[in-house]
Structure 1
Amino acid sequence: METTVLAIGTKKGLWLATSTDRQNWTLSRPHHLMSEIPSVGIDTRGGRTRILVGMMDWHWGPTVVYSDDLGATWSEPEQGAIKFAESDETALGRIWQLQPDSEDRPGVVWAGCEPISVWKSTDGGQHFELNRGLWDHPHRSEWGAGFGGAAAHTVVPSPVDDTVHVAMSTGGVYRSTDGGQAWEPRNKGISAYFMPDPNPEFGQCVHKIARDSENPQRLYAQNHHGVYRSDDGAETWDSIADGLPADFGFVMLTHPRRGGTAWVIPLKADGERIPPDAKLAVHRTDDAGSTWTRLDNGLPSSEYNAVLRDAAGVDNAEPVGVYFGTRGGSVYASADEGASFTEVAAHLPDVLCVRAAVVVGAEAGVGSP
């Protein structure tokens, strides 16, 4: 039996939902209630399901906790999984992303954090080491803070070589071709209209990037105004915003198996962060951004809440499931690649992160907190 596990991180706790048909869902009570959950990673490599949670406790601070039994129990390293050295003269502010690497790198998990930093674990997310190449980069003093803070919010490791791409607000896209030792900005073609030079080497406010599943040299980016594609590993970027109702937004998802397929959720503008005409819709391309299809079957006819960059995800089922949550606390699931949606949950706190995975042999149900 296959069970889909849906993790929903919010401003006030984590909810886990399970389903055997991706239509009917069982929702847990909240885990880590009153702690902010900005990041979740579900690691199904090696036949084990580990739920990794980047948690922000307003008394104890940020940390990583994990569960190997669908939330029945949680573990936390005694000294904390991510911790700056005293010589770095800073402290961890928030864990924005937890990203398991590919199948042939078991145990490797990447973390993107605030202040802008990237960390790497080789033991499944129990302990992380600071990537000194990015932390000591000469550009770091010039990276600014986006509206939500100064963060490395996206880490995209390549499945075929040692290339890693990172996106940050604000700094843009940086690329390493040697597993993270050296980093160079890769933003040519991405506009920074809000800066004196609208085409700088770095400083762009890239909201999210994702890699194509068939062509590892192809990437997609949702920018602070602008939707882009790169076909050369981020050396250059071209606009693919034509056909969308707006080029602002936070979400960028790609299909886990089919090249050229991606999803975005447009918002009207940075000054009015609502769906265009207050009508919530997902837009999908199946030709790498040449055309877009509006998908809103099952979504509310009126919606004034935004969808944040990590409040959306896909699973690995056939057909692929698409999931997202709003800042108004509604969570939606599609079992047909976005053609139709059902509501999984409503009236939750502000949804910050959504992740889904198919677990073979798991029972429909999640552990109680």
Structure 2
Amino acid sequence: MTTTLLAIGTRKGLWLATSEDRRAWSLSAPHFLMTEVPSVGIDVRDGRTRVLLGIRSEHFGPTVVHSDDLGTTWTEPEGGAIRFPTDAGAAVERVWQLHPDSADRPGVVWAGAEPISVWRSDDGGEHFELCRGLWDHPHRAEWGAGYGGAAAHSVVPGPDGTVHVAMSTGGVYRTRDGGASWQPRNAGISAYFLPGPAPEFGQCVHKIARDAADPRRLYAQNHHGVHRSDDDGDTWTSIADGLPSDFGFVMLADPRRGGRIWVVPLVADGQRIPPDGRLAVHRSDDAGETWQRLDAGLPTDEYNAVLRDAACVDAGDPVGVYVGTRGGEVYASADAGESFTQVAGHLPDVLCVRAAVLP
């Protein structure tokens, strides 16, 4: 029998939940109570489980901590895990993303932060170094802040040193040399809020994900727009037909099955609520050609949004799907979204959820 770990980061702390069937859950006492937890990463490579947290204290500021014993103890390196070099003239405001790389690159963990920056760790997330290729990019002065801040919120590593990053606002950038150089990759992604034709960069991409079967296939939830790229981000086409709205924050890709993705539509940028006040995920099994609404077990009266990292999938079979709302409710599906059960309720504003089948 396997155990699944679900980490729930909120505006006021972290909760850890475990389950043997992904239907009945045991919820821990809060960790880092009254501290914002905007990012979580769970690293199960090499047969161990390391939980990584990006935390933000109003008094002490942001940092990355980790636990190798499921939250019994937490460790932060002396001097902090993530901080700008003195010549950068900046300070980390928030760590938005923590993403362990593949099993082929053990120890490598990526971080995305505010102000817009990407960081790499080679020691499992104990220490991070700034990716100067992106920080020193000539476009950086023109990147803007989304509604929540100026953030590198998606870091998606691929094969052969390829990494895609999405930022609000700036769009999608790609490196194929391990981060030394970066190019914008936004052709076909809309930026309707800017005058004139669509620019090379400046799009407000909300989340990106990579296909399990075809590493050159990417998916994006944009600020009004749902897109797919079949050429490693060089060009993008709309896959929003069949959805009740093309606005939202979530984009999830099945880690086991190619062509399967999930989104959580919201009405619009001016109405950040589920359509008709009914929370639902929408799944495509054919790379966005068609969509299916899935809401069994989800509330019929819900006016809270699901933020970009407040949804995730695990690597179970079938794949589990998890969503958390700004109203503090968390739901889990053990059958790829066909039905959901409630994991927790009345928590603080859910900022991120991450799940992993424990080794």
**Same-fold call, TM cutoff 0.5:** yes
Identify the residue that residue 166 of structure 1 maps to in structure 2: 165
For normalisation by structure 1, the TM-score amounts to 0.97
Partners in 2 of 1:148 and 1:62 — Cα distance? 16
> Residue in 1 aligned with 2:274?
275
Deviation at 1:85, TM superposition (A): 1.6
Match of 1:306 in 2: 305
Matched, 1:204 2:191: no
Tell me which amino acid in the other structure corresponds to 1:296: D
Residues 135-144 or 83-92, more deviating = 83-92
Secondary structure, aligned partner of 1:119: strand
Q: Which residue in the other structure is 2:231 paired with?
A: 232
1:115-126 matched pairs, under 5 angstroms: 115-126=115-126
Aligned to 1:322: 321
Task: Give the Cα–Cα distance (whole angstroms) in 2 for the partners of residues 146 and 130 of structure 1.
Answer: 22
Q: What CA distance in whole angstroms lies between the structure 2 residues aligned with 1:5 and 1:306?
A: 23
Cα displacement string for residues 111-132 of structure 1 (whole angstroms, at most 9, x for unaligned residues): 0000000000000000000000
In structure 1, what is the Cα distance between the partners aligned to 2:3 and 2:241? 38
Residue matched to 1:340: 339
What displacement does 1:262 show? Answer: 0.1
4+ residue runs of structure 1 moved beyond 6 angstroms?
Answer: none
Deviation at 1:198, TM superposition (A): 4.4
- The answer to whether the 8 A contact 1:191-1:198 is kept is no
Does structure 2 conserve the Cα–Cα contact (< 8 Å) formed by 1:8 and 1:15? yes
Secondary structure, aligned partner of 1:134 = helix
Partner of 2:64 in structure 1?
64
Cα deviation for residue 90 of structure 1 reads 1.0
Name the CA distance, whole Å, in 1 between partners of 2:254 and 2:324: 19
Question: What is the CA distance between 1:197 and its match in structure 2?
Answer: 2.5
Give the letter aligned to residue 37 of structure 1.
Answer: V
Q: Determine helix, strand or coil for the equivalent of 1:161.
A: helix
Instruction: Provide the residue aligned with 2:150 in structure 1.
Output: 150
- Residue type matched to 2:143 in 1? W
Counterpart position of 1:22: 22
Residue 326 of structure 2 aligns to a residue whose secondary structure is coil
What is the identity percentage for the equivalent residue pairs of Structure 1 and Structure 2? 74
Q: What is the total number of aligned residue pairs between the two structures?
A: 359
Q: Which residue of 2 aligns with 1:51?
A: 51
**Partners of 1:75 and 1:333 in 2: how far apart?**
29
1:182 deviates by 0.4
> How high is the TM-score relative to the length of structure 2?
0.99
**Cα shift readout 1:157-189 (whole Å, capped 9, x = no counterpart):** 00x211100000000000001111100000000
Return the alpha-carbon distance in structure 2 between the equivalents of residues 23 and 224 of structure 1.
Answer: 33
Alpha-carbon separation, structure 2, partners of 1:298 and 1:193 = 36
Partner of 2:256: 257
Instruction: Write the distance in 1 (CA, Å) between the matches of 2:279 and 2:31.
Output: 28
User: Which ranges of structure 2 fall in alignment gaps of 5 or more residues?
Assistant: none
Q: Map 1:133-144 onto structure 2 (within 5 A).
A: 133-144=133-144
2:110 maps to a residue whose letter is: W
Q: Distance in 2 between matches of 1:208 and 1:141?
A: 22
- Which position in structure 2 is the counterpart of 1:7? 7
Identify the residue that residue 40 of structure 2 maps to in structure 1: 40
| Alpha-carbon offset, residue 86 of structure 1 | 1.8
Corresponding position of 1:293: 292
**What are structure 1's unaligned runs of at least 5 residues?**
361-369
Q: Deviations over 1:249-280 (max 9, x none)?
A: 00000000110000000000000100011111
| Paired AA for residue 180 in structure 2 | Q
Instruction: Output one character per residue of 1:213-240: Cα deviation in whole Å (capped at 9) or x when no partner.
Output: 0000000000000000000000000000
CA distance in structure 1 between the aligned counterparts of 2:104 and 2:300, rounded to whole angstroms = 44
Cα displacement (A) at 1:89: 1.0
Where 2:141 maps in the other structure, the secondary structure is helix
Cross-structure match for 1:363: none
Q: Secondary structure at the match of 2:46?
A: helix
2:223 paired with 1:195: no
Matched, 1:96 2:85: no
